């Protein structure tokens, strides 16, 4: 990483710039590139239209509109709320929890919005009408509140100050520095900016690093390839295991990609190796949470050990892992169970407290059982689920699968029996056309329980 980016990306005690880089550097790449100076003009134009309010719920579907809206809210001293999904009920719940909030969207938003980000009004403001120096944001300002995905329970709020976001971004830049050798790279992301992983990799990285980001959120393999083709090398693809598998199954050619990073769900070793062979680049898996942001990474095809970022320290506990990091106001307990290696600078993931099963005096992990289920030939997607206790107090195991018709339930059980203790075999197999994954590939527990209840 160049000295310019290392120096400017470091956290600042009292205030930190909104964006970093020369005014002529690109912030948005693709078919209609936008410089950082032109971006600031759009931010100032939108900020002037925002209502006086404490909170902005950012529902923008296009990434450039999201970033413009996020920065305009920062200029107005407003906290951005990031619902775990754009489902109407979820957004309504967030709005009710934060009175005085308004909804910020764009033409692609599926829900009604109070203010819309649009290209026409913003582009009509000449750059000369604003100070092209990056505004300074107080480090203690509450910049955003993210929410956990709800994959293991009700979504929980996680506030982030601007100083904390700047700090974690500096750690991300340092972790990726060797992959690009300080070059200005192009980011294409399949994950929404409302998710913490998407916020870190496709919002903060281009704002506070030597990156330009594609304005869209491509979903289908052809769209991902097209977005990459619209950007200049070197290219960084920010994605999930679900999208990575879809790219491989589509057999589509991609432009040269320097690196692929993935998160939100476990990345199977075989999938990582296949992607590296197919696309000719390294695939790095990131480990983090909404609460902590990204804290570790590994090259999954070659290693089991996660490598901690320099500013992170872990302390295993009986019920999880305590995380210490300067960007966290107090140490935080994650439900993940880890085994420290390499003098505490690496760890092996041993499951989650909520995933641990104990039946007939034997123990297993739902995550491990799910991986075994997914590895069976003929299964396209799957999850092992332990239902809530029934009237007799028993919590039964179910296997929810997307599988080839030729693969019978008996064959699935027989395959599991080769590596699984009989007490952990599912009591029933539920076949579905698709698992209810959200837009980052996670499986909300309440959705899985609803599938069980309907069967």
Asked if 30 contacts 227 with a C-beta cutoff of 8 angstroms, the reply is yes
The residues near 444 (Cβ < 8 Å, ≥ 6 apart) are: 149, 150, 151, 436, 438
pLDDT of residue 148: 78
3-state secondary structure (DSSP) of residue 205:
helix
Give 80-135 pLDDT, tens digit per residue: 999 888 888 889 999 999 999 999 999 988 889 999 998 644 455 554 455 667 89
Q: How many domains does the chain have?
A: 2
Mean pLDDT of 315-330: 93
Position 244 in a domain = yes
Number of residues that this document lists for the chain: 455
Position 138 in a domain = yes
User: What CATH number is attached to the domain comprising 437?
Assistant: 3.30.300.30
Q: Which residue has the higher pLDDT, 126 or 139?
A: 139
Give 253-272 pLDDT, tens digit per residue: 999 999 999 998 889 898 99
pLDDT of residue 309: 95
Q: Are 229 and 373 contained in the same domain?
A: no
Mean pLDDT of 364-384: 86
Mean pLDDT of 64-81: 97
Statement: the pTM of the whole predicted model exceeds 0.85? no
Asked if 145 contacts 81 with a C-beta cutoff of 8 angstroms, the reply is yes
Domain end, chosen from 303, 330, 350, is at 303
Q: Are 36 and 161 contained in the same domain?
A: yes
Q: How far apart are CA 149 and CA 388, in angstroms?
A: 20
Q: Are 291 and 377 contained in the same domain?
A: no
Mean pLDDT of 187-206: 95
Q: Are 46 and 138 contained in the same domain?
A: yes
Position 333 in a domain = no
Domain end, chosen from 258, 273, 303, is at 303
pLDDT of residue 150: 56
Q: How far apart are CA 182 and CA 185, in angstroms?
A: 9
Q: Are 295 and 370 contained in the same domain?
A: no
Position 110 in a domain = yes
Average pLDDT of the residues of the chain = 88
pLDDT at 69 over 60: yes
pLDDT at 2 over 60: no
User: What CATH number is attached to the domain comprising 48?
Assistant: 3.40.50.12780
3-state secondary structure (DSSP) of residue 59:
coil
Domain end, chosen from 303, 324, 351, is at 303
Q: Are 225 and 101 contained in the same domain?
A: yes
pLDDT of residue 441: 75
Q: Are 186 and 265 contained in the same domain?
A: yes
Position 105 in a domain = yes
Q: Are 281 and 369 contained in the same domain?
A: no
User: DSSP secondary structure string, 77-113?
Assistant: TPEEEE-SS--HHHHHHHHHHSTTEEEEE-TT-SS--
**Residue 318: band (very low, low, confident or very high) from pLDDT cuts 50, 70, 90:** confident
Q: Are 296 and 366 contained in the same domain?
A: no
Position 345 in a domain = no
pLDDT of residue 97: 93
Q: Are 299 and 159 contained in the same domain?
A: yes
The residues near 346 (Cβ < 8 Å, ≥ 6 apart) are: 305, 306, 307, 308, 340
Position 336 in a domain = no
Q: Are 11 and 145 contained in the same domain?
A: yes
Going by their DSSP bridges, the two strands 336-341 and 346-352 should be labelled as antiparallel
Q: Which residue has the higher pLDDT, 55 or 421?
A: 55
Percent of the chain having pLDDT more than 90? 63
Q: Are 267 and 394 contained in the same domain?
A: no
Going by their DSSP bridges, the two strands 26-28 and 346-352 should be labelled as unpaired
Position 332 in a domain = no
Give the structural domain span for 409. Answer: 360-454
């Amino acid at each position: 990483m160049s000295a310019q980016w290392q120096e400017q990306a470091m956290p600042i005690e009292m205030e930190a710039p909104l964006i970093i880089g020369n005014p002529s550097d690109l912030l948005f790449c693709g078919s209609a590139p936008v410089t950082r100076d032109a971006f600031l003009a759009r931010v100032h134009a939108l900020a002037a239209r925002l209502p006086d309010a404490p909170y902005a719920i950012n529902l923008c579907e296009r990434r450039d509109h999201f970033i413009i809206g996020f920065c305009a809210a920062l200029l107005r001293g407003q906290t951005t709320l990031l619902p775990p999904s754009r489902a109407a009920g979820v957004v309504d719940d967030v709005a009710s929890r934060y009175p005085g909030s308004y909804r910020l969207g764009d033409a692609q938003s599926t829900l009604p919005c109070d203010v819309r980000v649009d290209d026409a009004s913003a582009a009509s403001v000449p750059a000369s009408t604003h100070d092209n120096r990056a505004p300074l944001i107080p480090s203690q300002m509450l910049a955003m509140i993210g929410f956990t995905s709800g994959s293991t329970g009700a979504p929980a709020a996680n506030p982030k100050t601007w100083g904390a976001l700047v700090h974690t971004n500096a750690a991300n830049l340092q972790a990726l520095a060797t992959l690009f050798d300080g070059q200005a790279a192009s980011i294409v992301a399949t994950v929404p900016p409302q998710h913490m992983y998407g916020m870190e990799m496709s919002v903060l990285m281009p704002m506070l690093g030597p990156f330009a980001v594609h304005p869209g959120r491509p979903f289908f393999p052809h769209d991902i390839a097209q977005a990459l083709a619209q950007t200049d090398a070197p290219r960084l693809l920010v994605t999930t295991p679900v999208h990575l598998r879809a790219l491989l199954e589509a057999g589509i050619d991609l432009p040269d990609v320097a690196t692929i990073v993935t998160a939100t769900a476990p990345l199977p070793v075989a999938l990582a190796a296949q992607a590296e062979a197919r696309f000719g680049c390294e695939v790095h898996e990131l480990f983090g949470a909404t609460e902590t942001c990204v804290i570790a990474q590994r090259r999954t095809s070659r290693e089991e050990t996660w490598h901690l970022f320099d500013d992170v320290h872990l302390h295993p506990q009986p019920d999880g892992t305590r995380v210490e990091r300067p960007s966290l106001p107090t140490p935080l307990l994650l439900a993940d169970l880890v085994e420290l290696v390499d003098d505490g600078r690496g760890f092996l993931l041993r499951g989650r407290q909520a995933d641990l099963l104990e039946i007939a005096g034997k123990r297993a992990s739902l995550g491990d059982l799910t991986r075994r289920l997914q590895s069976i030939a003929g299964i396209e997607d799957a999850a092992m689920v332990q239902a809530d206790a029934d009237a007799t107090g028993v919590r039964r195991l179910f296997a929810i699968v997307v599988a080839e018709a030729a693969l019978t339930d008996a064959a699935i059980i027989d395959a599991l029996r080769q590596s699984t203790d009989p007490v952990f075999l599912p009591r029933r197999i539920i076949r579905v056309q698709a698992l209810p994954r959200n837009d980052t590939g996670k499986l909300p527990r309440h959705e899985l329980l609803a599938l069980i209840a309907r069967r």
